[in-house]
Amino acid sequence: MSRWPRTLGLMLAVATAASAQTGPGREPYRTDVAYDGRFTFVRLRWGGVSGFRGFGTAWNHDYPRAEYNLAQILKDVTFVDAHTDGGRILALDDPELFKYPIAYMWEPGFWRMTDREAEGFRDYLLKGGFAIFDDFDGVHWNNFEAQMRRVLPDGRFVKLDKSHRVFDTFFRMKTIDFPDPRLGVKPSYFGIYEDNDPAKRLVVIANYNADVAEYWEWSGTGLLPFDTSNEAYKLGVNYMIYGLTH
């Protein structure tokens, strides 16, 4: 895949503002989009709560504006044919998950799962799935790591720096150190490689002390810095392209 010209950054800035202004509300955002081979944003549901809103848990944070806005950007600035009318919300042991190469989880600091879910999620990752974890900080790492040990007992987390290809898959970012919009802390990024081999693909990436999707949710509203929101979108697009090509 050839790199787009540097001027694409300007396109992203324009697309960010335009897409965010046409967020959910003008048309329904569905959770029952049928699989048709097109890119579909998948949000992971945990905690055993029925209903897509999931009140009383935290997996539904930023829903649905975050994925709606990111899907709009992905469709506008890449050749990815992305669904923008809806996505999927799936449990970790749902067989439907295997149809989608990328899955995103919010608030893994509160994540709980059954043994069956752990086994299903393990199979998904080992068969080519790419999971992104976001929106957690501080001591919440302890629960996240404990749950991941149940999924990948032999997996080892490695801290990633800006030189890793996941941050340079489509956009060359100015920085990956944009702060958590609520806490203002500097983020860290950790990954698990297939077979713990850095020469192989990332199976998991965790945005720790970060809330990247918060920037997607509130872009175009004036609540968060415009330039930082653009970097958050670039990171999201890079993640999606990486997951689709590895």
For the chain, give every domain's residue range.
Answer: 8-125+136-184+216-245
How many CB atoms are located within 10 Å of the residue 3 CB?
11
Per residue in 99-148, pLDDT (tens digit) is 999 999 999 999 999 999 999 999 999 999 999 999 999 999 999 999 99
Give dist(CA 213, CA 60) in Å, integer. 12
Q: Record the tokens describing residue 238, joined without a space.
A: 């890079």
Residue 171 is which amino acid?
A: F
Q: What is the pTM of this model?
A: 0.88
Residues 157-190 pLDDT 10s: 999 999 999 999 999 999 999 999 999 999 999 9
Q: Decide which of 2.60.40, 3.40.50, 1.10.287, 3.30.70 is the CATH code for 8-125+136-184+216-245.
A: 3.40.50
